[in-house]
Structure 1
Amino acid sequence: MTDEGWAWSDAWIFVSVAIAGKVGRHRRSPLSRRPEGVRLADVLSTAEHLNHAVPVRQEIETGVRRLLAADLISVADGWFQLTGAGEQLWRDRPRSGLTTTVDSVHGVLGRRYPAQDGEWQLDDQEHTAAILEHSGRFRPPAPRRSVENTTANRSPS
C-alpha cells in the first residue's frame, strides 16, 4: 500500500518489541521469556528508553502494520512478540551500541524487506490504557525537602 519505504519509527517499534520481550543473546532460551509476548505499555516504555520519546499513535499503527506484513512480529489479544523471522533478524542484525541499534535495524529492514502495510488497527481504549499505564510507571519522585529548608522556614515559637 505504501511506496515510501521503511520509516525509522518502524524499526523503533521492532527493536522495542524485541527488547521488551527479552529476545537477545543474553536470553537465548525461549523458555526464559514470557510466551504470550509483551503488552503495548511495555513496548512504549522500551521505546521511550531507547529514544527519550513515546511513539505517537500513527507511528505505532504504521510500524505494527508493516512489521506484521513482513511477518516479523505477531499481535494476538493485545500481546506483541517477534515471529521466528523477527527473532532471526534480531540475532543477525549488525552489532552496535544501544544508541545505534534502531538505525542498524532500519537499514536491515530497507535492504531485506519490502515496506507494505498489513491489516491492524490500534483500538482507542487499548491505546489510552497503554499510555496511562506507561505514564504511571514513570512518575517523578516528590522533591525532598532538605533539613536546612525545614528549619529555616519554621516560625519562632
Structure 2
Amino acid sequence: MVKRILAAACIPALLAGCGGTADQEDAAGETYVQAHTIQQLMANVVQPTAENYWNSVQYISDEDGNHEIEPETDEDWQRTRAAGATIAELGNLLMTPAYSEGRGEDWTQFSQSLVEVGLRAEEAAVNKDVDAVFEVGGTVYSVCSACHQVYPPENMPEDAPTGEPPA
C-alpha cells in the first residue's frame, strides 16, 4: 500500500524529469510538466501496458491446435504484476487535472475503474493465478472499451501521437 501511495506521489516528479508539453500545477501548488498529450499517453503507455498484461495469458486455437500461453518464470510473473500495477497508476494519472480537465464525471469513473481493475490484475499476478489473470484481462478490456464508447480514439485532435517522442 505504501509503495502505491509513494508511486502515485512521484508521478508529477517523474513527469517533470521527462520534459514535456505543458506546465501544470498540482493541488499542493507544485509545478510539474505534462510529458504527453492524452493521445500520446494512451498510444505509447496505456495501450502497450494493457497489451503486456493481456499477452501474459492467452488461449490460442489455430491450424496447429490449441496453445496455452502463461507466465513460466518468476520474471514473467513480475512483468505481469508490473503491468497490473502500472494500469492502476495510469488510472490515477488520468484523474489528474492535466488529463481530466474538460471531461465529464464519467471520465473520473472510468479512471477509478482502471485503478480498481489494475489492482485486481496485480493481485492475480502476485497469486500466480493464471485463470484470474485471464479473467481480469477481460475486465481491463471492458473498462477500456466502455471509456472508448464515450471518448472514441478516432476523434483524436491534431496533436495525435506520431510515434515520435514529444518535443
**What TM-score results when the alignment is normalised by the length of structure 2?**
0.28
| Higher percent of residues as helix | 2
If each structure's strand is expressed as a fraction of its own residues, which one has the higher value? 2
TM-score (norm 1): 0.29
